[in-house]
Amino acid sequence: MTHLPDWLQQQAAAAPDRPALIAADTIWSFGALAGAADRLARTLREAGAQAGAPVALLAANRPVFAAAVHAVARCGVTLAPLNTRLNPHELRWQLEDLGAQVLLHDAAYHDLAAASTPAGVRLLALDESPPPPPSSPPLLLNLAAIHTLIYTSGTTGTPKAAQLSYGNHWWSAVGSALNLGVHADDRWLAVLPLFHVGGLAILMRSVIYGMPVVLHERFDPAAINRAIDEQGVTIISVVATMLQRMLAERGDRPYPAQLRCVLLGGGPAPRHLLEACAARNIPVVQTYGMTETASQAVTLAPADALRKLGSAGRPLLPLQVRIDAGHTAPEQVGEIYVRGPLVTAGYRNRPVPLHDGWLATGDLGYLDSEGYLYVVDRRDDLIISGGENVYPAEVEAVLQSHPAVQEAGVVGLADAAWGMVPVAFVAAEPDHALDQQELIAFARNRLAGYKVPRQIVVLAEALPRTAAGKLRRNLLRRRLTELLPLDNTGEVDK
Q: What angle do CA 112, 114, 117 make, to 5 degrees?
A: 105
As measured in angstroms, the least distance from the Cβ of 14 to its own copies is: 5
By the rule CB under 8 A, 177 interacts with its own copies: yes
Find the part of the chain contacting its own copies (CB under 8 A) among 33-41, 47-55, 190-198, 310-318: 310-318
Cβ partners under 8 Å of residue 207, min gap 6: 7, 8, 10, 11, 20, 30, 33, 70
By the rule CB under 8 A, 472 interacts with its own copies: no
What dihedral angle (degrees, nearest 10) is formed by the CA atoms of 164, 169, 171, 174? 160
By the rule CB under 8 A, 318 interacts with its own copies: yes
As measured in angstroms, the least distance from the Cβ of 31 to its own copies is: 12
Rounded Cα distance, 492 and 494, in Å: 6
The size of the interface with its own copies (CB under 8 A), counted in residues, is 29
Q: End-to-end CA distance of the chain, in Å? A: 58
C-beta closer to its own copies: residue 8 or 64? 8
- 3-state SS class at 25: coil
Which residue type occupies 80? A
By the rule CB under 8 A, 119 interacts with its own copies: no
As measured in angstroms, the least distance from the Cβ of 212 to its own copies is: 14
Find the part of the chain contacting its own copies (CB under 8 A) among 9-17, 34-42, 243-251, 348-356: 9-17
* Range 402-461, binding its own copies (CB under 8 A): none
* Range 239-278, binding its own copies (CB under 8 A): none
As measured in angstroms, the least distance from the Cβ of 213 to its own copies is: 16
Find the part of the chain contacting its own copies (CB under 8 A) among 179-187, 346-354, 407-415, 450-458: 179-187
C-beta closer to its own copies: residue 176 or 455? 176
C-beta closer to its own copies: residue 242 or 285? 285
Rounded Cα distance, 148 and 98, in Å: 12
The per-residue DSSP string of 310-365 comes to T--BEE-TT-EEEEESSS--TT--EEEEEESTTS--EETTS---EETTEEEEEEEE
As measured in angstroms, the least distance from the Cβ of 29 to its own copies is: 15
As measured in angstroms, the least distance from the Cβ of 38 to its own copies is: 17
Rounded Cα distance, 416 and 53, in Å: 50
What dihedral angle (degrees, nearest 10) is formed by the CA atoms of 411, 413, 415, 421? -20
- 3-state SS class at 77: coil
By the rule CB under 8 A, 308 interacts with its own copies: no
- Ramachandran area for residue 340 (φ above 0: left; ψ -120 to 50: alpha; else beta): left
As measured in angstroms, the least distance from the Cβ of 407 to its own copies is: 33
- E strand spans, 96-135: 102-105, 122-125
Q: Given candidates 174, 323, 421, 463, which one binds its own copies under the rule CB under 8 A?
A: 174
- What are the residues binding its own copies (CB under 8 A)? 2-5, 7, 10, 13-14, 140, 174, 177-178, 181-184, 208-210, 314-315, 317-320, 340-341, 370-371
